[in-house]
Amino acid sequence: MFASVSEIFSSVQGEGPYVGVRQAFLRFVGCNLNCSYCDTPREDVEYCRFENNAGSGTFEELPNPLTVNLVEEILKHFKHIHSISLTGGEPLLHADFINQIQTPVPLYLESNMTLPQKAKSVRDNISYVSGDVKLTNEFKSEDFESHLDRTIECFRVLKTTKTRDCFCKIVVTNDIDPDDVFGVVGAISNYISCVVLQPVTHGVSTSTSIKLVKPMPVHSLMELQKNLLDVIDTRIIPQTHKIWGCL
């Protein structure tokens, strides 16, 4: 089994309710969406960058694609980690590869929650789910209702259980429609432990340009949180890893 991977490294989770825990990160290549605020290139890469010494900024280059056995060996380098973050891109595109990974450390899935059939195939192997919700202003190429149905189904499949924590993360821009937020949160509130409102970064770097995305004003963001608290635990958590400069 092979997969294209852009990076493997150890760092600290910078987003969501598990902010601050130490993780190994396995960043897969490829995504089925194209969000304006995305800071990760979607193109295939010839080499995977592997940082053996956390925070050193020194990387080895491993030719893609990688085998499951090689990934397992690399992950053994990282000690005292809370979990292994499966990120991307969209890691569910590599569901078969994920199901082959053997590790004693829990798996932490970071997904755009639009591939419910892939989600079904990995759910028994996942302990933590950071599920993004992509709303109308970020929706591309197909009917929004179909997109929303797949998102809700993905949360249902990967819902919080006795052995799995699933939470919802919404990147909040100035263009976001609060009604869209209330609608999707209401539909998935029985499946998740909390909602995280993540203020968008002002300027997002991509492989080709800097996309300027305006954040929601502080007052409006706090009003949105206040109203959502009537439905479910809702927290405002920015990308903390960008504050102190780690990966």
pTM to 2 decimals?
0.92
pLDDT in tens, 38-53: 666 556 799 999 998 9
Q: Into how many domains does the chain fold?
A: 1
Q: Could you list the residue range(s) of the whole structural domain that residue 82 is in?
A: 2-244
Q: What is the pLDDT of residue 201?
A: 78
At 214, list the tokens.
């305006």
pLDDT in tens, 138-157: 555 567 888 899 999 999 99
Model confidence at 202, pLDDT cuts 50, 70, 90, reads low
Which CATH number is 200's domain given? 3.20.20.70
Q: What is the pLDDT of residue 74?
A: 96
- 58, amino acid identity: T
What one-character DSSP code corresponds to residue 77?
T
Q: What is the pLDDT of residue 214?
A: 84
What one-character DSSP code corresponds to residue 19?
T
Backbone region of residue 14 per phi and psi (left: phi > 0; alpha: psi in -120 to 50; beta: other values): alpha
Q: What is the pLDDT of residue 113?
A: 97
Does 209 have pLDDT greater than 60?
A: no
Q: What is the pLDDT of residue 208?
A: 44
Q: What is the pLDDT of residue 134?
A: 85
Q: What is the enclosing helix (H) or strand (E) of 72?
A: helix 68-75
Stronger pLDDT, 137 or 187, i.e. the higher one = 187
Q: What is the pLDDT of residue 215?
A: 85
Which pairing describes strands 2-3 and 22-28: parallel, antiparallel, or unpaired? unpaired
pLDDT in tens, 78-110: 999 999 999 999 999 999 999 999 999 999 999
Does 236 have pLDDT greater than 50?
A: yes
Share of the chain above pLDDT 90, in %: 74
Stronger pLDDT, 192 or 247, i.e. the higher one = 192
Does 232 have pLDDT greater than 60?
A: yes
Across 137-141, 161-165, 241-245, least confident range: 137-141
Contact at 8 Å (CB) between 105 and 75?
Answer: yes
Q: What is the pLDDT of residue 76?
A: 94
Residues 185, 195: Cα–Cα separation, whole Å: 8
What one-character DSSP code corresponds to residue 50?
E
Full DSSP string of 154-215: HHHHT---SS-EEEEEEEEBTT--HHHHHHHHHHHTTT-S-EEEEEPPSEEE-SS-EEE-PB
Contact at 8 Å (CB) between 91 and 110?
Answer: yes
Q: What is the pLDDT of residue 244?
A: 87
132-154: buried (b, 16+ CB within 10 Å) or exposed (e) per residue?
A: bbbbeebbeeeeeeebbebbbbb
Does 204 have pLDDT greater than 50?
A: no
Q: What is the pLDDT of residue 40?
A: 66
